[in-house]
Chain A
Amino acid sequence: MTVTTTTPTTRRPSPPGRRRPRVSGRNVLGAMLSMPALALFALFAIYPGLRVFYLSLFDYSLTSPPEFVGLDNFTFLAGDPRFHEALLHSLVYTVGTYLPALALALVLAVALSRRMRGAGWVRLLYFLPVATSWVAISVVWRLVLHPDGLLNQTFGLDVDWLTSSAAATWALVIMGIWKETGFFLILYLAGLSRLPGEVYEAAQMDGAGAWQSFWRITFPLLKPITAICSVMGVIRGLQAFSPQVVLTDGAFGTEVVNLFVYKTAFENARMGRASAVAVFMFLVLIAVTMLQLRAFRREDG
């Protein structure tokens, strides 16, 4: 009784009054701890992120001052066949690589999530390409894709993988699937391990009924993961650069959007036009992310 009646009168006014000045010194210091990171962000992420919109309205070549040209860069791109082709190449590469990689990762995750002797080792084999770097692995795949290389000889093929327009895109797609499946396998396995126990067991069911339990239980439950994976697939697809540079240098129908930006900015010194493409890429990324997240949410509900 005494406690409840005395505390309000003695304590209630004091905490706000007494605490604030004493703690705020700490909070000022605490706020300052975020400064190194925020300064780096402001200078190297936010400023260029805003400036890319500004530069997209200018004719600019690094060495000469920017000259305002309004929407000229965008109207030029709208009529530029090379840009249209780059968009198409990126689309084909992204869908061709990431759709199979995601599907394969999902199937592998379900097959490898069961507690079976050896499953850990098999996972490891699929994870290994994720730990390699794109340039190093492109050097390796240059040999794999050689007319007398591993791929042709193993499957008895006679394809000029890297020196024909018919095959180069698919060569990069095959390599991309090999490199990226493990990444999405990691994500799906993480997603599976989060599912509640009974569902997890149902997901691992063998034999008869496995197909139905996959489509009725596992796949719907993994939809949030699939949404994340497909957004990341689109982003990673649009970021593609190293294999296109190392294996074909953009020839034979492999000049993807990112390589087009690079060449426009640094080989043709058209920084403004390159910025306009970057703005376009940014809008595509946002649109695709929104669409995918919404589509998966709606199906969920």
Chain B
Amino acid sequence: MSAGAAPAESRFAILGATGLGRALARKLARGGTPVTLWSPEPTAPSPAGDPPLPEAVEVTGDLSLAARYDLLVLCVAAHAVRPVARALGEVARGDQVLVHAARGLEATTGLTVSAVVQEESCLRKIGVIGGALRAGALDRGRVVAAVVASRFDEVTSRVAALLRSPSFRVLCSQDVPGVEIAGAYRSIAAVWIGVVDALDLGPAARAMVMTEGLSEAARLAARLGADPLTFTGYAGVGDLVATAADPAGKEHEAGAMLVRGVAPGVAGAAAVAPEAAAAAAGACVLAACLGVKVPGAEGLRRLLAEGGDADAMLRAVFDEISGATR
């Protein structure tokens, strides 16, 4: 089917040519769904190792063209959402549905991505895609799963209808802050797992950073009205289990860089894993506003921003965790 053949109601657009955005476009196009993919650099060659996009994927650099559809999937990293959301706000309409797949918080404000989108546009029917949804698994045709959360049933039902297939399981939730904070903390925990692995501290230390991540995330999210049980589900424990089981990726590499003592800067760990850096910084801002202790996020924020001894910082975090009264 050509890109322009389907009526506007049945069309959707992916905004952002990140690894996940491109993998989703490939997956859906392979299933016969017409896809429009917005990229700020539409003519840029595919990243190394990234499979090419099928012809059924219409790639455009014109945001207004992509944003005319009534279902938008925002695949932009958390630290880069605001300018895109602002531009989207120029053309968005109130009846459009938007879900995002970011895994961080805004570094300077601690806002969740859905809050940033709401600040910058008239969009209200907003949701989040969480859980262990990985570009690699989509491309390899493995069974994948995602949690779609929104306060609007229309959002969860329409996104579930778009994504759901025998190899793509979709779980629905209304807990938007829960899934967003869980996603941000997955990024934070993934860097700490990289630190633990590089220091060869073993499974107990891994379990410590993972459970501390969950605990901090649940405490923060509960103050935003989230359901703590979200963190025992696929968006929380599920995502962390998948992360620990397959510890590749930018965050893991960033953790190793911290142990090697690579100085902060353009080539530092924060540049390698900017979404984790934004998640840690944003979690600290949010925690300060809400009066919640977040030693894991605070330790990582300082390491990424200021550098220092990752081993000593990890031990300080462990000291605080084991000494803290829960």
Q: Do A and B bind each other?
A: no
